[in-house]
Chain A
Amino acid sequence: MTAGATPDRPDEPPQMRIVRPYALTGGRTRSGASDLPIETLVRTSARGREVGPKLQLEYRTIAEMCEEPLSVAEVSVHLGVPLGVARVLVTDMSEQGLVDVHKGRTDRPNQALLERVLHGIRDL
């Protein structure tokens, strides 16, 4: 067994301790996390794929399921946690480079984007 492969080991190298226990996110509010629009798309980064298996459960699960991009809302459903918790987890992972987030717009979509959407729906 490789030393450090288990995130809970107290003697693990610091670089492996890149996540905090899930329990800490319960009820935690974070500036940043609440800014993450609900439709924000989350995709596992190369780094997330690499270290994913060593991560603690919730992060590992997110790294696995976001190989195919999923919204924060979907992450919340598939992980079985409230939206706010999903936001915090995704924000943490994003800060650590484990996932890339593609945010929804906070302003009104512009004309070019609306036209893409219109064509996309017409082609359905």
Chain B
Amino acid sequence: MGFETSNDRGAPAAGDEPLQPVKIVISGGFAVGKTTFVGSISEINPLTTEAAMTSASTGVDDTSKVQTKTHTTVAMDFGRISLGGGLVLYLFGTPGQARFQFMWDDLARGAIGAVVLVDTRRLADCFPAVDYFEQLGLPYIVAVNCFDGLQFHEQQAIREALSVPRDVPLVFCDARERTSTKESLIMLVEHALSRAE
């Protein structure tokens, strides 16, 4: 006990409770199960917010070959988990396309870390996300979404094929299962803790 006297007065009034938001980024390729993962543990149905994006067309965008400024919106979904004591964890799914990197930067800033989801049928789709978090130095884990279950020997093969750095935890998960998602999140926070020490 320090010099806190708040115990004598009981719990602080709801309006006075200090609030602390934290966030975890859920990333990976297209249709890999990000929204499913978030929804499996979120206390709210995953919500989708839109951010406006202004950028000069570079020709990468097939729809606009003209060199002008384009205005598009990027959708991003997220969920919330109240952890008690004013601590609220948000899970943000990254918008898939690499050209939305400005949004990734926004999401990664101050984040605990990232879960990179992998679809076993399209392993390489996770590489841009892995590269991004590696470069940023943000703690991340790789979670292989076992859409239809996996044999042990398949897991070994995937582990080798992914060839992520040895110190990056790799977990096999089911994005639909709350318990599985919870395990992945625990693994990430533990990994972040090991990096914080």
Residues of A participating in the B interface, judged by any CB pair closer than 8 Å: 37-41, 43, 46, 69, 71, 73-74, 76-77, 82-84, 86, 102-111, 113-118, 120-124
Contacts and interface: CB of A to CB of B under 8 A. Distances in A.
A109 B110 contact: yes
Contacts of B88: 39, 41, 69, 71
A38 B21 CA distance: 10
Contact of A39 (B84, B90, B197): B90
A-B interface, 10 closest residue pairs, ranked by CB to CB distance from nearest: A120-B83, A102-B19, A105-B110, A39-B21, A83-B51, A41-B19, A77-B47, A39-B90, A118-B189, A39-B23
Contacts of B70: none
Interface residues of B, number: 41
A33 to B, nearest CB: 13
Contacts of B48: 77
Contacts of B80: 71, 74
B15 A118 contact: no
Nearest to B193: A114
B54 to A, nearest CB: 9
B193 A118 contact: yes
Interface in B141-197: 182, 185-186, 189-190, 192-193, 196-197
B59 interface: no
Contact of B189 (A77, A103, A108, A114): A114
B63 to A, nearest CB: 20
Contacts of B97: none
B22 A39 contact: yes
Contacts of B19: 41, 43, 69, 102
15 contacts: A38-B106, A41-B20, A69-B19, A73-B78, A77-B48, A77-B49, A82-B73, A83-B50, A83-B52, A102-B20, A109-B192, A117-B87, A120-B83, A123-B83, A124-B83
B85 A82 contact: no
